[in-house]
Amino acid sequence: MRSGFPRLAINARVHRRVEAILKVAERCNINCSYCYFFNGTDDSYKRHTPVIKFDTVTAVATFLREGVESLGLEYVQIDFHGGEPLLMQKSQFAAMCDHFGAVLEPVADLNLCLQTNAMLIDDQWIEIFMRHRVKVSTSLDGPAEYHDQERVDFKGRGTHCETIAGINRLREAVCRGDLDGFGVLCVINPARSASRIYRYFVDELGLDSMDFLLPQMTHDTFAGLPATAYGDFLCQLFDAWAADDDPRIQVRILNSVLSLLLGGRSKVTGLGAEMPLAITIASDGSVGPDDTLRTCGTAMIESGANVSSTTLAEFVNNPLMRVLDSAKENLSAGCRECCWQRVCGGGQLVHRHSARDGFNAPSVFCDGLKPFFAHVAAYLLVRGLPLGRLSEVLLGDAQALESAAQTRCVSIQNLP
């Protein structure tokens, strides 16, 4: 029975974690054409300070600490985000890391992460990452011929060369043992070859930690190739990764789908039924939900709350958070009837949104996600996953698939 307490707060207590996407800089040194932050429907960044001030940093630290104590959390992840977070002065960034450590490490397991375009990374930044154990993730859309199509500077010039220079500094730091590793995020463009991108990452750059993101599109903004093309891309990606059979190479979206199909949890928001507590804190301390909802319009990201005047426990009860919590739990009719519900969970909220129907729709990528899930499930079945196990995970009944197939015992074969 659902209590009157918001599910987000329940989830926070269950998972004992909060992820704070902290916009330390709301400006950028480049101008990616697909940027959801600067080139989308929301322009709230214009009203925020370009770089976070230290007063706000202290307020954020207090806000998170109070949240840890009141919600009984054990794990706090702060994602330094932007814009481009490395536009912050190095000394300020380091002081910020020191402050978060001093305030939060006594009460929680603190994880500091960074999402950067890598172009500003130099040896001094590497030293800061090392000293403060900041986990770095970079944005790279593949080889230059792909990356430079959309990831451009303010003069329209490609940024691949400078990005790779920064990535190479990270690789060298990993080789020296100064950093444990770093990750790469690639935005999916189905007009491109998934295997080309994967092979470029693995063979030419030696990367072993990556993720591929569906673009931030709603039902109102979806354009270009059909959703099925995204499914084809993901299937191709999966095949390339599976063929390597290399346990070192981690692809977060693939790990998440595999985990969910086996009855486990997703590694990312947007898959699975769970909705871990993720908030966005702007450079002026404004608190909002998951940053991706910015694509749904300013009303979906501005809660009216600020870290200086609210608490985390109060924020999860904010009317906007309640709306989003309800949207995640109350799926459209099509999603409720879908055999992939326990894996998909309806998909990311942003992908379900339209001005007309709100969140009452399947993901705009639904027609691509279904064949992708089936592709991965097929991989598992032909490698020995019992049909009953898959049936139990997806349908809640170990016999359901066998009954539907009208067999008593089954063997799984690839079709010729």
Q: Which two tokens stand for residue 383?
A: 């490698």
Q: How many chain residues bind other proteins (CB under 8 A)?
A: 52
Taking the complex as a whole, how short is the minimal distance between the CB of residue 236 and other proteins, in angstroms?
A: 14
User: Pattern 214-253, binding to other proteins, x per CB under 8 A?
Assistant: -------------------------------xxxxxx---
DSSP 145-180: HHHHHH-B-TTS-B-HHHHHHHHHHHHHHHHHTSSS
User: Pattern 384-413, binding to other proteins, x per CB under 8 A?
Assistant: xxxx-x-x--xxxx--xx-xxx-xxxxxxx
Question: What residues from 337 to 376 belong to the interface with other proteins (CB under 8 A)?
Answer: 337-340, 370-371, 373-375
Tell me whether residue 185 or residue 249 sits nearer to other proteins (CB atom). Answer: 249
Taking the complex as a whole, how short is the minimal distance between the CB of residue 246 and other proteins, in angstroms?
A: 7
| Contact between 263 and other proteins per CB under 8 A | yes
Cβ atoms of 354 and 220 within 8 Å: the answer is yes
Taking the complex as a whole, how short is the minimal distance between the CB of residue 232 and other proteins, in angstroms?
A: 12
**With CB under 8 A as the contact rule, which of the stretches 89-97, 156-164, 255-263, 327-335 interacts with other proteins?**
255-263
Taking the complex as a whole, how short is the minimal distance between the CB of residue 187 and other proteins, in angstroms?
A: 23
End-to-end CA distance of the chain: 48
Taking the complex as a whole, how short is the minimal distance between the CB of residue 156 and other proteins, in angstroms?
A: 39
Residue environment code for 88-119, b if the CB has 16+ CB neighbours within 10 A, otherwise e:
beeeebbebbeebeebbeebbebbbbbbbbbb
| Contact between 383 and other proteins per CB under 8 A | yes
Sheet holding 182-187, edge to edge: 250-251, 209-213, 182-187, 134-139, 109-116, 75-81, 17-23, 278-281, 286-288, 305-306
Tell me whether residue 95 or residue 404 sits nearer to other proteins (CB atom). Answer: 404
Residue environment code for 132-158, b if the CB has 16+ CB neighbours within 10 A, otherwise e:
bebbbbbbbbbbeebbbbbbbeeeeeb
Q: Which residues bind other proteins (CB under 8 A)?
A: 245-250, 255, 258-259, 262-264, 267, 337-340, 370-371, 373-375, 377-378, 380-387, 389, 391, 394-397, 400-401, 403-405, 407-415
